Structure 1
Amino acid sequence: MDFQTAVKTCFNKYATFSGRASRSEYWWWTLFVIVASIILQVVDFAIGLGDWGLFGNIFSLATIVPSIAVAARRLHDVNKSGWWQLLVIVPLVGWIILLIWLIKKGSTDVNRFGPAVVTVSDFVSED
């Protein structure tokens, strides 16, 4: 999945917490949110709204639900419940565990959250 498709998919599945998300979908979305947040912070400071962060705050509010949803779907891909996102409450250890699961390759067969996510690499033969 490419950058543009991942962003479109996450906005189309705005509050869809069921199903599975590939690593590329999750990490392209994460990159989009980080880059857009930085750009909007720069814009806020450039026009004198640095203390309020108006555009950055609006963007954060608009993307929090799809961010939680894609993370839940990503955890489903490694056969974990989306509720495991609450590990961020546990400093350092929880973050590390969650990061490992988000990086981990998803299961290639059907799990309790649905069929495997089909990626381009599944169609590439290794001759």
Structure 2
Amino acid sequence: MHYYVDVIKRYADFAGRARRQEYWMFVLCSIPIMIVAIVLDFLLGSYPVIFYIYNLAVFLPTLGLSVRRLHDTGRSGWWYLIGFIPFVGWIAMIVLMALEGDAGPNEYGANPKQVTA
């Protein structure tokens, strides 16, 4: 759960790098919350108000995390726009987010896997 909270704390931080684990754990925590929001919307007859409010609330943290994840692979945050290509963009984003990050430091910062003293 701390992965989710850590991302929310770094609300609009686009600098640095994010590990694969940080990204995918945030996604794993977000999916059940979105499902609950959809169910609540359905039960209350307000579909999709709660779902959209949640997505709006986590838009900037998710964008910041995605940019930091792209930085970890040595790519600019502008690569995020590839996800808007119809039909294949989201597949390309999944592949980019699943790639292992650069082993050493890159132009976006030190390797987040290395423990700093």
Normalising by structure 2, report the TM-score.
0.90
Deviating more after overlay: 62-71 vs 86-95: 86-95
Normalising by structure 1, report the TM-score.
0.84
- CA spacing shift, 1:87–1:43, aligned 2, 3 Å: same
State whether residues 77 and 106 of structure 1, in contact with CA within 8 Å, keep that contact through their aligned partners in structure 2. Answer: yes
2:14 aligned to 13, 17, 20, which one? 17
State whether residues 76 and 82 of structure 1, in contact with CA within 8 Å, keep that contact through their aligned partners in structure 2. Answer: yes
Moved over 6 A (4+): none
- CA spacing shift, 1:119–1:49, aligned 2, 3 Å: farther
2:63 aligned to 62, 68, 90, which one? 68
Provide the residue aligned with 1:95 in structure 2. Answer: 90
| 2:29 is the counterpart of 1:32 | yes
State whether residues 17 and 73 of structure 1, in contact with CA within 8 Å, keep that contact through their aligned partners in structure 2. Answer: yes
- CA spacing shift, 1:119–1:33, aligned 2, 3 Å: farther
Provide the residue aligned with 2:101 in structure 1. Answer: 106
Tell me the alpha carbon deviations over residues 35-90 of structure 1, each in whole angstroms, 9 at most, x when there is no partner: 2111111011112212xx22111101100111111000000000001110100121
Provide the residue aligned with 1:56 in structure 2. Answer: 51
2:5 aligned to 4, 8, 20, which one? 8
**Structure 2: where are the runs of 5+ without partners?**
none
State whether residues 83 and 92 of structure 2, in contact with CA within 8 Å, keep that contact through their aligned partners in structure 1. Answer: no
State whether residues 78 and 105 of structure 1, in contact with CA within 8 Å, keep that contact through their aligned partners in structure 2. Answer: yes
Provide the residue aligned with 1:124 in structure 2. Answer: none
State whether residues 33 and 63 of structure 1, in contact with CA within 8 Å, keep that contact through their aligned partners in structure 2. Answer: no
Aligned residues, how many?
Answer: 115
Structure with bigger gyration radius: 1
> What amino acid does structure 1 have at the position aligned with 2:2?
T
Give the alignment's Cα RMSD to 1 decimal.
1.5
SS at match of 1:26: helix
Write the distance in 2 (CA, Å) between the matches of 1:102 and 1:85.
10
Query: What's the % identity of the aligned pairs?
Result: 35
